Amino acid sequence: MTTTGIVFIVVLVVALAAFAYFLGQRVQYVLVGRPEYRFDHLPRRFGGFLYFVFGQRKLFKEWVGTIHFFIFWGFIVIAFGTLQIIAEGIRVGFKFPWAENFGFLLAKDVLSLLVVLGILVLVYLRYVVRKTRLEPSAEAGIILGLIFFLIISEFLYSGFTYAPEPTSAQRGAFLATAISTGVEGISAGGREVARNILWWIHVLLLLAFLVYIPVSKHLHLIMCPVNEFLRSLKPRGGQIETLYLENEEVEEFGVSKIQGFTSKQLLDLYACAECGRCQDHCPASQSGKALSPKTLMTKLRAHLDERGPALRAAAKALKTGAGVQEDDDTPSLIGDVMSEDEIWACTTCYSCQEQCPVQNEHVNKIIAMRRHLVMDLGEFPQEAMLAARNVEKNGNPWGVGQQTRADWAKDLEVAVAGQGELGEYLFWVGCAGSVDDRSIKVSRAIVQVLRHAGVTFSILGTAEKCCGDPMRRIGNEYLFQMLARENVENLNGLGVTKIVTNCPHCLNTLKHEYPAFGGNYQVIHYTELFAQLLTEGRLKPAVGTTGHRADGAVKTTLPQRVAYHDSCYLGRYQGQYEAPRKVLKALPGLEVLEAKRNRSKSFCCGAGGGRMWMEEEAGHRVNEARVGQLLETSPQVIGVNCPYCLIMMEDGVKSVATGTEVKVLDVAEILAASLTGQEAATGGH
């Protein structure tokens, strides 16, 4: 072994030891969290690992993801070339099989060039354009610089190695070959000295990169693949942790300190790449509120780094029986790390998690901290507290008397479950559809359509209570579970198996959250059922938007241009984007318009996560921002599929489209009008 090889091995061992030490620290910090089992369904996890890590699938949601894709695969291929360079320093003349392969060397240079170009684009975006979500941090500059000069040094080293005459295989490395041609005039001794210097520059840059990774935000290069493997396999709408409230040993039900999160939730913090996609799609962040999902992760990560050593030492002492108690001096997350304004700003729209390329789970962290405020401290916004009291007293957040819940259907002679035939479906009307004047019109339209198609159904009437969705997301798990158990007992007692609902929030709760309480039902949104009925020919829209009917009568005017708004809880949570569009597109002469933010990138109306009952005091209103986006399509009507969206969009239109004739209609109202020949009913609050 050469002297260079011996020195290099010493340096390599030191670098690897430093890397292992710093990485081990972060792993230990992750393990201070509560244990959470994420090793179920291993084939599915491995399949997803390959799909998301090696396929980089979530990165392609934006064009810049293509750059990352080439950087990722470029690094993999370049790594094999770097192994050859390292081997040459330890043992002169050693060659790996791929080192003299024309195809490999060609691929390496092509990908290396793409990586360099990608780095330059990222530098431009971060330091010249200064995109809001990409702060020009020193850490990012160091990493980008290390990657750039690693590749340049490899080009130069290979060029001096191939000179004066590259082999036929080496000519595959076209960039290195070009360099070798340029240095032919240098003496053999000079080339050898330059080659040795470039070798050391390359390997030292490599080792510096290795050691720097675990102490920087670029630890995500290691933690991200682990995070992808441990991603949640639960349905998106069923990922909120169910608390066992009867457990008398539990001292707090929410999370007040960093160690209260699970290890997976702490792993998220180190997997975060700070790409800012979550921030760009967060309605709170984009409307000027205190919350940024990206900042949430970086704040919690910095806090974990700060408190990690003390927490790990305390955990070790307890494990060894040294008698040291848990570190009770750890600052509270709420107040010391996160403000209450940040915690309450979240609409739980799931857009942050939809866009996150590394499978981070933001929403549950916020709900866990809300639970601490509500259940442990009894502190939450006054409007939300009033909504909770209304639910406790009257079974709905509006506070309307429970005895009037079925009044909307008095003249419709709708069957009530338990008092007659159950029918094929139970129509779960929901609170808004039962007590809110505007939403009641949607409930009546749904009844019209179901009867037109000959679908038998019943309602719960006064026995129906709030499903609990807003209470769970506000953080009042106790009230949610009380409602869930009561509703499940009622539904099971009636023998209900199939449910159709107009509210995506109710849909999500009944379908994904009630099974934990013994409620297992086939739950469908009315747009899915209507799309199915249209396919089967049981619904045949007879009225278009222009011309005359077959009998010569003038058709009732219906909207020709409908800007469709994807609700969060039907779209991102259920993955249902097509059914509402299919219903609208089945109507003669109707054009469905798409806002720039649509489908999985749709912008929230601002009412989810209990925000329906909280005032917006900071920034500008989320619903007004969304209405503005929809109005860019020049619609006659804004089409919705959710009672929350209906209320928020109508309020938004009144604020930002005063004087226009733009209406807000539910898909059910538009379809019912087409079937009956009557003008779609509208009306504000």
The string of pLDDT tens digits covering residues 300-315 is 999 999 999 999 988 8
Q: Which residues contact 593 (CB under 8 A, 6 or more apart)?
A: 561, 562, 563, 564, 633, 634, 635
Angle (CA) 34-36-42 rounded to 5° is 160
Q: What is the pLDDT of residue 557?
A: 62
For 324-344, the pLDDT digits (tens) are: 454 467 789 999 999 999 999
For 632-671, the pLDDT digits (tens) are: 999 999 999 999 999 999 999 999 988 788 999 999 999 9
DSSP H or E segment with residue 639: strand 637-640
Edge-to-edge strand order for the sheet containing 663-666?
Answer: 591-593, 561-564, 637-640, 663-666
Query: Using CA atoms, how far apart are residues 87 and 98, in angstroms rounded to an integer?
Result: 13
Residue 11 clears pLDDT 50, i.e. is over it: yes
Q: Where are the beta strands (DSSP E) in 429-539?
A: 457-458, 498-501, 522-525
Stronger pLDDT, 222 or 123, i.e. the higher one:
222
Q: What is the pLDDT of residue 544?
A: 57
Burial of 427 (0-12, 13-18, 19+ CB in 10 A): buried
For 365-384, the pLDDT digits (tens) are: 999 999 999 999 999 899 99
Residue 679 clears pLDDT 70, i.e. is over it: no
pLDDT class of 10 with cuts at 50, 70, 90: very high
Q: Which residues contact 145 (CB under 8 A, 6 or more apart)?
A: none
Residue 475 clears pLDDT 90, i.e. is over it: yes
Residue 450 clears pLDDT 80, i.e. is over it: yes
Q: What is the pLDDT of residue 1?
A: 66
The mean pLDDT of the chain is 91
**Mean pLDDT throughout 141-160?**
91
**Mean pLDDT throughout 182-194?**
91
* Nearest of 274, 267, 354 to residue 26 by alpha carbon: 267
Query: Using CA atoms, how far apart are residues 665 and 307, in angstroms rounded to an integer?
Result: 52
Which structure tokens are listed for 474? 């506000």
Edge-to-edge strand order for the sheet containing 425-428?
Answer: 457-458, 425-428, 498-501, 522-525
Q: What is the pLDDT of residue 123?
A: 85
Which structure tokens are listed for 161? 């190695």
Which residue type, as a one-letter code, is found at position 221? L
Stronger pLDDT, 546 or 213, i.e. the higher one:
213
**Mean pLDDT throughout 554-582?**
89
Residue 685 clears pLDDT 80, i.e. is over it: no
Q: Are 374 and 256 within 8 A, CB to CB?
A: no
pLDDT class of 550 with cuts at 50, 70, 90: very low
Instruction: Tell me the percentage of the chain whose pLDDT exceeds 90.
Output: 71
**Mean pLDDT throughout 219-229?**
94
Residue 323 clears pLDDT 70, i.e. is over it: no
Q: Are 537 and 602 within 8 A, CB to CB?
A: no
pTM: 0.90
* Nearest of 670, 480, 470, 486 to residue 564 by alpha carbon: 670
Q: What is the pLDDT of residue 177?
A: 93
Q: What is the pLDDT of residue 552?
A: 43
Residue 58 clears pLDDT 90, i.e. is over it: no
Residue 131 clears pLDDT 50, i.e. is over it: yes
Report CA-CA distances (Å) from 551 to 168, 512, 548, 560: 82, 47, 8, 22
Determine which of 136-140, 625-629, 651-655 has the lowest per-residue pLDDT on average: 136-140
* Nearest of 573, 460, 574, 586 to residue 532 by alpha carbon: 586
